[in-house]
Structure 1
């Protein structure tokens, strides 16, 4: 019995060492000491000592370890590791890892998280938001843009150019605004709450495109000529990457160029250049935003050199060039029609178009470097553009739906008081909080100099999917008002734009199922990339160091997941006390569980995990939801932890952690090895799946906060454009909301008087007059109720048209019959 107790103590000790990630030498020393005690002090057979000593020798003595353990494993690893293509290698090497590495470590450092600087706008950036951005939003009529003109009005285009909206990312030395990424995103967000078309027009030149690429890779001549012209809107840029045969597989583009000598006339100068070294291009591109109106075309293509005019390689690789759109042979100007998301987007093509080598971005020294250039810059744009538009949709949905749910009545009660509507409002507010928090944290990283490629995929997928959810919920609450398209419908345009956001910059299906975990597992894991590079370099020594660390990492996460699962993570030290303390503990627990499951998935499925996209997607969901949960806590911390925001952060974090748990459950349910899956489940969920989504009462608090002009609501809709005009379909909401809240007591008094038989008139208007005549309400109260009812009618009215659906009736709101 004593020996069993000793063994139990030893197991607990080893579990503790693994939990605290003790170094191998310390664990080995303690194991050796424990074995010696059992053999010498308790009479255990000396064979155990020999076995333990041999095992420890193999683990700690490098020559023995490499001979008997890591060396044979290295040979197997080299055979089963799938080879990387050049484009895959460049994608893996692109960008940086940041907070996502902490989440993959199983032991996130929250002190580091909260020491990241809170996002702040400079005085210049704030002035731009309050000045030109506010003025631009006031100029925008979304109905006119999307339904009548199908384009921005000329004066809006001119204002955008003159005020520098197209040069927010360009350095001041070239005439740009040189805004922070945070400011750039907030400008896009504010515009997007007013007009998606205008937001896309502004965001694309500031995202992945010629401006970004030129600043990083352009020659001095290219920078000095193009950047000032781009900054002031003299040139309108577009970037052509997607081909009919290569959408998400951008590395497989069929468009090509051949190094050759030829002649061309420079459209900028009109000068003919003869017998110059250049490229003969043939391409067909589609879905190119700003393409129909662009004056300068960024083009990605594969470059070949069969005559070896540049070197000894036949296939040079993906290359990026900058071509004036009035250059001979460039076909551009036609438009695609992406439904209600009306913005300038279209195809372009050319056959045997000759350009000089100096039009390659970066010049001749950057031929074949196009894919690396693109993937390095893509992470920045994907963190800003579409996530910012998704945040805008969340803010608009929260603001309008909350107000509408308080203003609109059914059965004598504001519809927001019904639990079904309450539930939808909670999702809208909670998802809006998640989206804003997720982007804010990524923007902090960008402004610290990071290029978080994995986080950009998380933001692209999860923010646009949440955009889809909040708009759908908002449509449900607004019901017929949102279904009938017209100038008063502030949701239809955003609803119609959802497929665009889901599709562009990497289709969401692909982003979730392949990119997030596929790239995250390699980049964020502390050992996998080291092992892969060691295998590719045939470096057995480097592999030995990496794999022994990896083994310890797996054992540690196994121990941590098990211990925290058994204790509910209550032994974990939280960086904060109060209502969020357990959230931090649960994140640490799930982070360790995720790291363990990720390693087990890669170890047991190997290269086939790349093709088991459903499992890979669930692993990506785990990482993504851990990121969203920590981002929500960071936002709450940076905002000063206001008491009014507690329901929002609680909903955001608890929903993300519950979704993470569900992803783990799905992974375990579908792992091909049922025995291994049972073992992993016992480690990760020893007491079952204990996490629950947010309680109904939390959602109700969110709904109530959105239905009143509360501080929490004001923080949630920060950076939204709020028109003040009561004639504006969005602007009237605030007027109506205040008026309805102020007269709720009077309306209740009038309904009670009607039930008691004091008011006998048939219509509501006549009963109101009767109440004043009988002295039940004063003249001032009569005026207040009449005004509130008129504003309410302005809110709930739906546009009607002539039979050709050409002209809405602007006076419909005055059409009072009963």
Structure 2
């Protein structure tokens, strides 16, 4: 449900102040400790950040896509680790349930996710199934009123903290594609479910991923999302548009933060008797970054509005995610260059963002997958127009 402009402005102002006053000062500590302080997590709960996209009737804020991306612009102004903690509850960890879940499933889980009492995780990727999600090997064998799950999931965001996993498993052993895949709601602590140690990553310290292993884990048939076998991959695909737009918005926020920091440094840093901001080659890097970030912001907002209007924005969302994630990588690279040797030093934080943003081109569909989605859509439309 759309908020009135005054309420939305108050929300954005509150989130913006929280980012500036509470999160930015803790960036270095979170990176060093690889952990978000518990009191910050509690404040995020109090602000309702875990339930931004969850409908109001289940305890969330029920933001439209256009409203959600504006909040994501603000959250992107700091370390991506903070947003990552709330991201699964608002995106891939809850939206499959919101879109396809039974009413009983929604009422049982969504209020807990919206309140941040329970962290969700989206368990799709496997050691041998990443971009080719239809090739997953985790199996779910029917046994009376239950299914027995076996397999391993990899790089699962928030797995060490999750209370609920959306698990994609093959219920039709004869199938070799996505049609035999079913989505299950599996609670942490279920016998046979084990979470591995947190992965050691290039960046985004404070955001944790890990393997999740299923060994004869028994899950009730009532925990199939929507109550129907073979719909899992369709459910996964339905959440992608929203997830890709959200990530695009976060990329915009990070880019704007890097541009602001780079400009401030360029105005302060003196060389040859003047600020380096006066040198045209530095100005060119600043201008290119500002132009690309502005274009990305416009793409996110326009595609979000179209989605809210009920249009199929699959192609546009892929375009947005591709451009925004590649854009922020270029902006981060220029930020290091503008800072010079200081950009390579940890104390300035620019090198941390340089590492952090690299992941945006990989998860929620790699840049190459986005290119395939876009091109195939173009070809399909062209053939249909003949």
Contact 1:259–1:280 under 8 Å retained in 2 = yes
- What's the offset of the Cα at 1:472? 0.6
Matched, 1:157 2:19: no
1:460 corresponds, among 321, 324, 335, to 321
TM-score by length of 2: 0.93
Identify the residue that residue 221 of structure 2 maps to in structure 1.
357
Contact 2:89–2:114 under 8 Å retained in 1 = no
Contact 1:390–1:463 under 8 Å retained in 2 = yes
Identify the residue that residue 412 of structure 1 maps to in structure 2.
273
In the aligned structure 2, how far is the partner of 1:181 from the partner of 1:302? 31
Identify the residue that residue 515 of structure 1 maps to in structure 2.
373
Matched, 1:328 2:195: no
Matched, 1:490 2:352: no
Hey, which of these two has a bigger chunk of strand by percent?
A: 2
In the aligned structure 2, how far is the partner of 1:162 from the partner of 1:322? 26
Contact 1:259–1:305 under 8 Å retained in 2 = no
In the aligned structure 1, how far is the partner of 2:3 from the partner of 2:277? 34
Identify the residue that residue 114 of structure 2 maps to in structure 1.
231
Identify the residue that residue 67 of structure 2 maps to in structure 1.
183
TM-score by length of 1: 0.45
Contact 1:303–1:316 under 8 Å retained in 2 = no
Identify the residue that residue 55 of structure 2 maps to in structure 1.
171
Q: Report the 3-state secondary structure (helix = DSSP H, G, I; strand = E; otherwise coil) of the residue aligned with 1:151.
A: coil
Identify the residue that residue 145 of structure 1 maps to in structure 2.
30
- What's the offset of the Cα at 1:469? 0.7
Identify the residue that residue 505 of structure 1 maps to in structure 2.
364
In the aligned structure 1, how far is the partner of 2:291 from the partner of 2:87? 26
- What's the offset of the Cα at 1:204? 2.4
In the aligned structure 1, how far is the partner of 2:85 from the partner of 2:71? 12
Identify the residue that residue 180 of structure 2 maps to in structure 1.
317
In the aligned structure 2, how far is the partner of 1:215 from the partner of 1:496? 33
Superposition map of 1:615-654 within 5 A: none
Summarize the Cα distance change of 1:226–1:504 in structure 2 as closer, same or farther, 3 Å threshold. same
In the aligned structure 2, how far is the partner of 1:251 from the partner of 1:126? 42
Contact 1:394–1:431 under 8 Å retained in 2 = no
In the aligned structure 1, how far is the partner of 2:168 from the partner of 2:37? 31
Contact 1:298–1:320 under 8 Å retained in 2 = yes
| Structure 1 gap segments, 5+ residues each | 1-118, 262-276, 307-314, 530-548, 551-818
- Report the count of equivalent residues: 379
- What's the offset of the Cα at 1:485? 0.3
Matched, 1:421 2:288: no
Identify the residue that residue 130 of structure 1 maps to in structure 2.
13
Contact 2:78–2:254 under 8 Å retained in 1 = no
Identify the residue that residue 246 of structure 1 maps to in structure 2.
129
Identify the residue that residue 368 of structure 1 maps to in structure 2.
230
- What's the offset of the Cα at 1:334? 2.0
Contact 2:119–2:164 under 8 Å retained in 1 = yes
Superposition map of 1:199-598 within 5 A: 199-209=83-93, 211-261=94-144, 277-304=145-172, 317-332=180-195, 334-342=197-205, 343-363=207-227, 366-384=228-246, 386-486=247-347, 489-512=348-371, 514-522=372-380, 524-525=381-382, 528-529=383-384, 550=386
1:263-297, Cα deviation, whole Å (9 max, x unpaired): xxxxxxxxxxxxxx121111201111111100011
- What's the offset of the Cα at 1:521? 2.3
Contact 2:54–2:62 under 8 Å retained in 1 = yes
In the aligned structure 1, how far is the partner of 2:104 from the partner of 2:20? 36
Contact 1:471–1:491 under 8 Å retained in 2 = yes
1:383-404, Cα deviation, whole Å (9 max, x unpaired): 12x2112101221122122222
Contact 2:15–2:74 under 8 Å retained in 1 = no
In the aligned structure 2, how far is the partner of 1:382 from the partner of 1:316? 23
Q: Report the 3-state secondary structure (helix = DSSP H, G, I; strand = E; otherwise coil) of the residue aligned with 2:253.
A: helix
- What's the offset of the Cα at 1:508? 1.5
- What's the offset of the Cα at 1:376? 1.8
- What's the offset of the Cα at 1:137? 4.1
Summarize the Cα distance change of 1:377–1:465 in structure 2 as closer, same or farther, 3 Å threshold. same
- What's the offset of the Cα at 1:450? 2.8
1:702-747, Cα deviation, whole Å (9 max, x unpaired): xxxxxxxxxxxxxxxxxxxxxxxxxxxxxxxxxxxxxxxxxxxxxx
Runs of 4+ in 1 over 4 A off after TM superposition: none
Contact 2:191–2:217 under 8 Å retained in 1 = yes
In the aligned structure 1, how far is the partner of 2:189 from the partner of 2:279? 59
Contact 2:252–2:328 under 8 Å retained in 1 = yes
- What's the offset of the Cα at 1:136? 4.8
